[in-house]
Amino acid sequence: MTSSGPSSGALALLIRGGTDNWSNERWKARFTTACPGRPIVQVPEEGFDAASISYAAVWKPRPGELAGFPNLKVIFNLGAGVDAVLADTQMPNVPLVRVAVDDLTQRMTEYIVMHVLMHHRQQSYLAGCQQHKQWKPTQQWAAGAVRVGLLGLGVLGRDAADVLTRLGFRVAGWSNSPKTMPGIECYAGAAGLRPFLARTDILVCLLPLTPDTRHILNRPLFAQLAKDGPLGGPILINAGRGGLQNEADILSCLEDGTLNAATLDVFETEPLPVTSPLWTHPRVTISPHNAADTDADAISIYVARQIADFERGLPLANVVDRSRGY
């Protein structure tokens, strides 16, 4: 690798938002351990030399920020979804790598499986009964009676599909390109969407947010979901991105029965405004975009390994295809 000066090869951290678990101090400590000897610059840091930055590890960087590093070689997005980075029209034309690590995948699968089971096992109904000290068992179906459909069969969708299949659910998935997965009905492209929806009782969205998928979760789509399932109506679980959903449509579809219930981890505006009727809707379950709140240890080690490979001339893994947007 060519060097542009004695302090070249520095890794800049541009991390905005996130939870306590994602504090800047935590990230800096983790990257300092994972990349021994490499200067780690927490941007903005007083007096740092922008020309020394070879790598950037980012989460929701400000538009134009990355363009300030003239010798940037690789951008590492600290999450799986790259929509926030791709929204930066001045982003340098260097490889953009996203996160695909077991730690994140397993957390997402926990979230999806938990919420599929909560709906399937009628947990809201049982919690309501407990609150009123009512012993009122209701009919419980076998997992094999319930059809789960995953929008997105990527790293996350495939793992969730696999675990749900092993639990006995009838699982299908929808993707851009055709796939074959044992035990899973695979649908692809525009032509595959209608038959996929028509056989789905619980719709799980794990799509990336791209120009093609923005607001895909809307009334016309919900209206195509199966109406003959055992759960009293279609259920939506969205852990992809808020921009995938039309929240006004979700609310009106919950009112007229087009949807029976929804679990939402992501929102058009985050944090979800206190004025949103989603907060108090009796059939909406909300989590604060933490379905898969990835661990800084796992990601810093992943990024450090990729930098080491890159500097040895090996290919980077999980490079985003900018033309597809994911």
Residues belonging to the active site = 241, 289
Say how far apart CA 215 and CA 226 lie, in whole Å: 20
CB burial of 269-308 (b: ≥16 within 10 Å; e: otherwise) equals eeebeeebebeebeebbbeebebbbbbbebbbbbbbebbe
Residue whose CB is less far from ligand GLV, 49 or 295: 295
Say how far apart CA 2 and CA 257 lie, in whole Å: 61
Say how far apart CA 136 and CA 68 lie, in whole Å: 63
List the interface residues with ligand GLV, window 95-124 (CB under 6 A).
Answer: 99
Query: Does the protein bind ligand NAP through residue 164 (CB under 6 A)?
Result: no
Q: If DSSP codes are grouped into helix, strand and coil, which group holds residue 173?
A: strand
| Among 175, 245, 246, 263, contact with ligand NAP (rule: CB under 6 A) | 175
Residue whose CB is less far from ligand GLV, 75 or 80: 80
| Among 197, 206, 217, 237, contact with ligand NAP (rule: CB under 6 A) | 206
Q: Which does 239 bind (CB under 5 to 8 A by kind): ligand NAP, ligand GLV, none?
A: ligand NAP
Cβ–Cβ under 8 Å, residues 188 and 219: no
Residue whose CB is less far from ligand NAP, 173 or 229: 173
Residue whose CB is less far from ligand NAP, 53 or 186: 186
- Crossing angle between the packed helical segments 102-120 and 123-131, to the nearest 10 degrees: 60
Minimum CB distance to ligand NAP, residue 303 (Å): 16
| Among 18, 61, 152, 229, contact with ligand NAP (rule: CB under 6 A) | 152
Nearest partner of 203 among 248, 232, 235, judged by Cα: 235
Q: Which amino acid is at 78?
A: L
| Among 89, 138, 177, 280, contact with ligand NAP (rule: CB under 6 A) | 177
Query: Does the protein bind ligand GLV through residue 86 (CB under 6 A)?
Result: no
Contact region for ligand NAP (CB under 6 A) — 59-67, 127-135, 155-163, 253-261? 155-163
DSSP state string for 105-144: HHHHHHHHHHHHHHHHTTHHHHHHHHHTT---------GG
Bridge partners (DSSP) of residue 172 are 149, 185
Residue whose CB is less far from ligand NAP, 212 or 311: 212
Q: Which does 139 bind (CB under 5 to 8 A by kind): ligand GLV, ligand NAP, none?
A: none
**Contact residues: ligand NAP, CB under 6 A:** 79-81, 100, 104, 108, 152-157, 174-177, 206-210, 212-213, 239-241, 265-266, 289, 291-292, 326
**Contact residues: ligand GLV, CB under 6 A:** 79-81, 99
